[in-house]
A and B are shown apart, each in its own frame.
Chain A
């Protein structure tokens, strides 16, 4: 019998396809319409930190160098009030086998797939994750398919993504390159069904537990070298896995006072599913187009329950502009001798102004770098932006308009962050959770779940539910 491959039919089979392709019984963790047992899922379906470290040792993932950015720290102190300007250190995740922290995320999924006897793995991603899965699959002798969103209807591709396609093919993966649209996930489902391969989702407990070692390691390294915990850990935020995994690792290392600060490139106003906007952006990841929707509704992902839940961990969430990230990418290369990819430097662009808030004896961690190369480079990305009608100029970064203008700062002191309203995002998350579940009343257990999800009190959650209206609260 041939399968019905229409969009609708495949999306309706989504649950059963995912169950076979992940081997996780998500139903086990569902508590009510609204609530599920997040920690139970992470414990039972994922791996412990020790197991993950062992899995990653087998394929050379992790234990990346921690580098102090001495010249950048000097410049920060020059533009800060006397006694201010925290030390900035960077975790050089580009030293992982495929050149980014995504190797951590891929390592556990690919290990698990091999252990369970799957013949191959599939990942739907246009980011560094594709190369990471391809590299890990090569090491464990599995086949690999990466599904990417690469080009618009003019067949014009983002140079950053074309480079990522190349890298996946270099590791022996099949790369399925698509035009713009969220149906990337539809095709991934079709391929999972056709091949019986494992779904190396970014958002499974395997993916997230793989990142926990990053948070754990960086705390250990900083304690060893400086004898204290970092004040701020700045994490580039997109789909939420980097924030979630890192923060969980930091907590497991016992660094309870370190603040987790998410940073995204501001792409407000650009529609992520637009065939026109697609090539009007210079960043294909680490931006608000993923950062906001995935934080306020994580379960939009390609798994029934997303293990990446950034609202549980974010102390602050800030944005920077594309031009600021290109500027600091130059600064990192020219002052610190580290030529690294621009998207991963989003957190560096945020860390510089954030370090000005803190006394000199504090430490700010930039938690990742990524490899750079043709296409994935400020020069390539700015040439591409110009070719797509974007104005590129030096000036005040506040004049930046996503999709229209990229402003490269004229001076180091112009770097700044814009604070996102986390309270508004919490409200939006609660609203999404209530509306999508169709719940007409919430009980004690659900209030508790929503409070954990938003790092707030049950009274706070109840207050917001009352504001939304139409939902009865059944709790004492």
Chain B
């Protein structure tokens, strides 16, 4: 996998919106001590390496500057493995329905 994008590649950028000192006053301490961060996907306007400053064109046609974080960012969320606590609910309820018919 390359760490350099080409112009026109679909990429993710990252930037800090508000550093801790600039955030809203009304925050719990654990949130207050970290920055407000932003990630946006769009098309690279120039070839850059991961970690370098880059400009992208977003799907809403904005130009946004940030640090190149990922190239061809996908979606990795899934269902994950089967969950034991869920797996027998259906059969339990069907047994209950059957018993009710008697």
Q: Which residues of A does B touch, CB under 8 Å? A: 6-7, 71, 74-75, 77-78, 120, 143-145, 150-151, 153, 155, 157, 159, 162-163, 165-166, 169, 172-183, 186-187, 194-195, 271, 273-276, 326-327, 330-331, 333-335, 374-375, 377-380, 382-384, 392-394, 408, 411-412
Instruction: Name, among B18, B28, B31, B42, the residue most crowded by chain A CB atoms within 10 Å (CB to CB).
Output: B31
- The answer, among B27, B62, B89, B96, for a CB contact under 8 Å with A75, is B96
Contact A179 B83 (CB under 8 A): no
Complex-state Cα separation, A129 to B90, whole angstroms? 31
Contact A169 B83 (CB under 8 A): no
Could you tell me the distance between the alpha carbons of A177 and B62 in the complex, rounded to whole angstroms?
15
A-B contact pairs, 6 of them (CB 8 A): A145-B58, A173-B59, A178-B38, A181-B36, A394-B85, A412-B93
Bound complex: CA A220 to CA B58 (Å): 44
Interface string of B27-65 (1 = CB under 8 A from A): 110110011111111100000000000000011111000
Within 8 A of A (CB), among B71-102: 75, 77-83, 85-86, 89-90, 92-94, 96-97, 100
Interchain CB contact under 8 A, B96 and A78:
yes
Q: How far is the CB of A320 from chain B (nearest CB, A)?
A: 16
| Alpha-carbon separation in the docked complex, A473 to B77 (Å) | 56
CA distance A273 to B29 in the complex (A): 10
Contact status A335-B97, CB under 8 Å: yes
Interchain CB contact (< 8 A) of B80 among A145, A335, A383, A411: A383
Check if B23 is an interface residue, CB within 8 A of chain A. yes
Contacting residues, chain B, for A78 (C-beta < 8 A)? 96, 100
Measured CB to CB, the closest approach of chain B to A13, in angstroms, equals 15
Judge whether B90 and A334 touch: CB under 8 Å.
yes
Residues of A within 8 A of B2 (CB): none
> Do B34 and A174 touch (CB < 8 A)?
no
CB pair A182 B78 closer than 8 Å: no
B89 touches A187 (CB 8 A): no
Residues of A within 8 A of B36 (CB): 178-179, 181, 183, 187
8 Å CB contact of A177 from B26, B38, B59, B97: B38
Interface size on B, residues (CB 8 A): 42
On chain A, the residues within 8 Å of B80 by CB distance are 379-380, 383-384
Cβ–Cβ contact A186 & B62, under 8 A: no
CB distance from A273 to the nearest CB of B (A): 6
CA distance A382 to B84 in the complex (A): 10
Q: Choose from B60, B77, B81, B94 the contact partner of A120 (Cβ within 8 Å).
A: B60
Q: Which residue of B lies closest to A167 (CB)?
A: B75
Minimal Cβ-Cβ distance residue in B for A142: B60
> Are B79 and A377 interface neighbours, CB within 8 A?
yes
Contacts A178-B36, A378-B86 known; 19 new A-B pairs at CB < 8 A:
A6-B22, A151-B37, A151-B39, A163-B77, A173-B60, A174-B41, A174-B58, A176-B40, A181-B23, A187-B38, A273-B28, A274-B30, A275-B31, A335-B90, A379-B79, A379-B83, A382-B85, A392-B85, A408-B85
CB distance from B44 to the nearest CB of A (A): 15
A179 touches B37 (CB 8 A): yes
Question: Among the listed A163, A177, A180, which residue makes an inter-chain contact with B40, where contact means beta carbons less than 8 Å apart?
Answer: A177
The winner among B23, B30, B82 for most chain A CB atoms within 10 A is B30
B77 touches A162 (CB 8 A): yes
For the complex, give the distance between the alpha carbons of A335 and B23 in Å: 48
Chain B positions within 8 Å of A71 at CB level: 93, 97
Q: Complex formed: what's the CA distance from A144 to B62 in Å?
A: 11
Chain B nearest CB from A233 CB (Å) reads 25
Which of B18, B62, B92 contacts A7 (CB under 8 A)? B18
Docked-complex contact B86 and A330, CB < 8 angstroms:
yes
Contacts of A176 in B (CB 8 A): 38, 40
Which residues of chain A are near B75, meaning CB under 8 Å? 162-163, 165-166, 374
Contacts of A74 in B (CB 8 A): 97, 100
In the complex, which residue of chain A has the Cβ closest to the Cβ of B42?
A174
Least Cβ distance of B18 to chain A in Å?
6
